[in-house]
Amino acid sequence: VAKNKRGNYYQLYKENIQRMDNRALEMETKLYKAIHQDLLELHYQPKIDIKSNKMIGMEALLRWHDSELGQIPPNKFIPIAEESGLICDIGEWVLRKASLQIKQWKEQYGLNLRVAVNISPTHFEEPCFIDRLKSIIEETNVEPKNLEIEITELSMMHYNNELINKIKKLKDLGLTISIDDFGTGYSSLSYLKNFPVDTLKIDRSFIVSMIDGDSNIAMVSAIISLAHALKMNVVAEGVETEYELEILKKHHCEFVQGYYFSKPLCVSDFNRFLEDNR
Ligand code: C2E
Ligand code: MG
Ligand code: MG
Ligand code: MG
C-alpha cells in the first residue's frame, strides 16, 4: 500500500511540475513576443523631496498586459525573464524606452529630472552590460545625469572587485546608482562603504512595520543614519500614510516614494499630472 501511495504522490508531483513548466513556458513565449512586438509599457512613479514636497525624479516600472492572461505583475514575469535569459533584452528595452521618455519630457515640458530604471542582478552581471548601456546612451542621446540605475541589495552579495569596477564605470559615465530594497538582502553591511553608490532605498517592509512599534522605527532611523554617515541619500519606498511621512521627516529621511503621493502612472496620466502642476 505504502509503495502504491508513494507512486501516486510521485505521479501527482510529476504532473504538477509539468503543469508549472508548461505555464512558465507559455509565459516565456508570450513575453518574448511582447518584447519584440512592443507590447510592454513603462509606468512612472514620482520621487518626492520630503521637505519641499517637490518631485525630484521618478522610477520607471514595467507593465505587461497580455490579451489572454491579462495584466501580469513584474514580480511574476521578471523571474521568468531571468531564468530564460530574456532579462537582458527586457533591461535594454527599458533603458532605451526610459531614455527616449526623458528626452520627450525635456522637449515637451522642459523637465530636467532623473529617471530610475531597475536592472536585474543577472543583467547587471553580464560582461557586456556597460558597453550595451553606452551604445543606448549614444543612440538615444540621453544625458547620463538624467539616468539612474536601481540595483537590489541582492546584486551586491556577489561582492568583488569586478562589481566595484562596474559601479565606478557607471559613475564615470555620469549615471546615478541606488541600492534598491535595502534591508532585505541579508548581506554583510561591509560592502556598503566600498561601493560608490548615491542612494539607499529602504525597503517598503520596514516602512510598513513602523506602526508596530518603536524598535521598528529605530531600525529605519538607524538605516537613515548609516546612509548619511556614508554620504548617501535615502529614499523611503512605499510610503502610504501621513503617519509614516511624519516619522520619516522626523528622522531626516530626504526623499519618499509611495501611494501617499502617487501610484505609478502611465505616460498620458503622467503628462496630465505635469500639466496640472505646471
Ligand atoms: P521595486 O523596484 O522595489 O519597485 C517598487 C514597487 O513597489 C513597485 O511595484 C511599485 O508599484 C510598488 N509601490 C510603490 N509605492 C507603493 C506603495 O505605497 N504601496 C505599495 N503597496 N506598493 C508600492 P511593481 O511595479 O509591481 O514592481 C515590483 C518589482 O518588480 C520592483 O520592485 C522591481 O524589483 C521589479 N521591476 C519592476 N519593473 C522592472 C523593470 O523594468 N526591470 C526589472 N529588472 N525589474 C522590475
Ligand atoms: Mg526599484
Ligand atoms: Mg524596491
Ligand atoms: Mg521591490
Say what the pLDDT of residue 58 is: 97
pLDDT at 52: 96
Q: Provide the pLDDT confidence category of residue 5 given band limits of 50, 70 and 90.
A: low
d(CA 81, CA 225): 36
Task: Report the distance separating Cα 122 and Cα 88, nearest Å.
Answer: 8
Q: What confidence tens digit (pLDDT) does each residue in 30-82 have?
A: 999 999 898 999 999 999 999 999 999 999 999 999 999 899 999 999 999 99
Look up residue 116 and give its three cell numbers: 530610475
Which residues have a beta carbon within 5 Å of ligand 4, which is an ion?
Answer: 181
Q: Is 178 in the pocket of ligand 1 (CB under 6 A)?
A: no
Alpha helices in the chain (DSSP H): 2-36, 74-84, 87-109, 121-124, 129-140, 161-173, 204-209, 214-229, 242-250, 267-276
12 three-class SS:
helix
Structural contact between residues 262 and 270, judged by C-beta atoms closer than 8 angstroms = no
- Ligand 1 pocket test, pick from 118, 122, 235, 244 with the greatest ligand atom count within 8 Å of Cβ, gives 118
ipTM surpassing 0.90, yes or no? yes
Say how many Å lie between the CA of residue 256 and the centre of ligand 2.
13
Residue nearest (by alpha carbon) to ligand 1 atom 17: 238
Instruction: Collect all residues with Cβ–Cβ distance below 8 Å to 88 and sequence separation of at least 6.
Output: 122, 123, 126, 132
Kindly identify the ligand whose nearest atom is closest to the C-alpha of 116.
2
Q: What pLDDT score was predicted for residue 16? A: 66
pLDDT of residue 4: 53
The model's confidence at residue 20, banded by pLDDT at 50, 70 and 90, is: low
Cα–ligand 4 centroid distance for 184 (angstroms): 9
For all residues of the chain together, what is the average pLDDT? 91
Q: For 192-201, what is each residue's pLDDT tens digit?
A: 888 899 999 9
Question: pLDDT at residue 129 above 80?
Answer: yes
pLDDT bin (cut points 50, 70, 90) of residue 184 is: confident
Give 60's strand partners: 44, 117
Percentage of residues in the chain having pLDDT higher than 90: 76
Output the 3-class SS for 39-82.
CEEEEEEEEEECCCCCEEEEEEEEEEEECCCEEECHHHHHHHHH
Q: Is the pLDDT of residue 268 over 80?
A: yes
What angle, 0 to 180 degrees and rounded to 10, lies between the N-to-C axes of helices 2-36 and 87-109?
40
Residue 144: per-residue pLDDT: 98
* Confidence category of residue 1, pLDDT binned at 50, 70, 90: very low
More confident residue, 237 or 24: 237
Could you tell me if the CB of 61 is within 6 A of ligand 1?
A: yes
The pLDDT tens digits of the residues spanning 70-101 come to: 999 999 999 999 999 999 999 999 999 999 99
Which atom of ligand 1 approaches the CA of 120 most closely?
44
